[in-house]
Structures are given as C-alpha cells and as structure tokens.
Amino acid sequence: MGLFRATPLALDDRLPVDAALDEAFAPLRARTANISPARVRAAVRWSRPEPAQIGRTALLARISEITTAAVISAFVFSASLASLAASPYVPDVSRDPVVTGTWVPNGRNAFQRPMDTRATDYRTIAGDIAANAMTIRRASGQTGFDQEQTPSNR
C-alpha cells in the first residue's frame, strides 16, 4: 500500500502546510503561564515525607493521643456498666404480689410495696408529729379544727 510509502516531501507541498500551522499556532505560541515557582515548592512541600526528628515526635504524639482516647473510652464504658448495675429494682408485675407476699396492706384497703428497712419512714414521723400536735391541742381545750372554720361558728 502506498500510504506509508516513504515519499520525499516536496517543498512546494510542505510550505503551505508549514505556513498554515505556523499561523494557527501563533496565538498559542504567544501565551505565557502566570505561575510562580512558589507554587511548585508548595506542591513539593505538601508531598514531601516528614523529617526523621519530626516523625519521631509525631509518633510520640500519636501514641499519647491513642492512649488518652483509650483511657477515656474505658472510663465511659466502665461508667456505663456501673450505671447498669446500680439501676433501681423494678418489681415483676407478672407475679401476683399478694400471693407471693412481697406486697403488704397499707391500712387503707390497698397494698403497697414493703418499705426498705434501711429507709426512713417519714410518714410515720409525720404521723407522730401530727398525733403530738393533736394531743397538745386537746390538752389546751382546742379541737383539731380552728374555731373560725367550724360550721357552728358561721
């Protein structure tokens, strides 16, 4: 095939193409790049590996960061476990508290959960105070109601 035949380039044939290419590339040939070498240095600096001294320091810093993170994680995890262990007792409502004897009558025709022996029964204390107050009033001739508020005084 004659397509790839090594034919000599005729000057008359080549000159118009040369001129056309020269003219076509002229605007491009006049263009310049507004780039400074500082941009290259910045690109090199960003991709440059760290010096050994900085690398060791960075390694120590990274180890301390990891240690701190591990300690904080362990603290948070143990605290969450402790809060689970200290959760309040939830009575099993599926069981009949009366039958099982866990609940006791509260004196008002109802049942209540038995009070912890370690707890202070302020109701009892309040009841004692009220009883003492009534006793004092009776001793001084007063009833449990104020005189102004009794219906007979109205």
Partner 1 sequence: MTARSRKADGVETEPRGDRELVHAARAGEVLAFDNLFYRYRDGIYRLAISITKDPSAAEEIVVDTFARAHRALERLEPDDSLRPWLYRVAVNLSYNRQPRKGVTFSSLDDGVFDLPAEGESPTEAAERGERRRVVLDCVDSLGPKHKVVVVLYYLNGLNLAEIAEIADVPVGTVKSRLHYALRKLRVQLSSHPGLDFEPGTVFGATHSEMHTLAGQG
Figure out which of the listed residues 3, 82, 85, 93 binds partner 1, where binding follows CB under 8 A.
Answer: 3
Please, which of residues 47-76 interact with partner 1 by CB under 8 A?
A: 47
Q: Which range of residues in 38-46, 75-83, 90-98, 117-125 is near partner 1 by CB under 8 A?
A: 38-46
The span from the CA of 16 to the CA of 22, in Å, is: 10
Q: Please identify, using beta-carbon distances, which residue of 20 and 66 lies nearer to partner 1.
A: 20
Q: Please identify, using beta-carbon distances, which residue of 41 and 113 lies nearer to partner 1.
A: 41
Asked whether position 37 contacts partner 1 by CB under 8 A, the answer is yes
The span from the CA of 128 to the CA of 136, in Å, is: 12
Closest distance between partner 1 and the C-beta of residue 19, in Å? 10
Figure out which of the listed residues 31, 108, 118, 154 binds partner 1, where binding follows CB under 8 A.
Answer: 31
Q: Token match 């090594």: residue? A: 6
Please name which of 45, 71, 69, 75 lies closest in space to residue 61, comparing C-alpha atoms: 69
DSSP 142: -
Closest distance between partner 1 and the C-beta of residue 45, in Å? 10
Q: Look up residue 118 and give its amino acid.
A: R
The span from the CA of 32 to the CA of 21, in Å, is: 19
Asked whether position 29 contacts partner 1 by CB under 8 A, the answer is yes
| Cα 11 to Cα 3, 16, 25, 26, distances in angstroms | 19, 9, 20, 22
Interacting residues with partner 1 (CB under 8 A): 2-4, 6-10, 12-14, 16-18, 20-33, 35, 37, 39-41, 43-44, 47
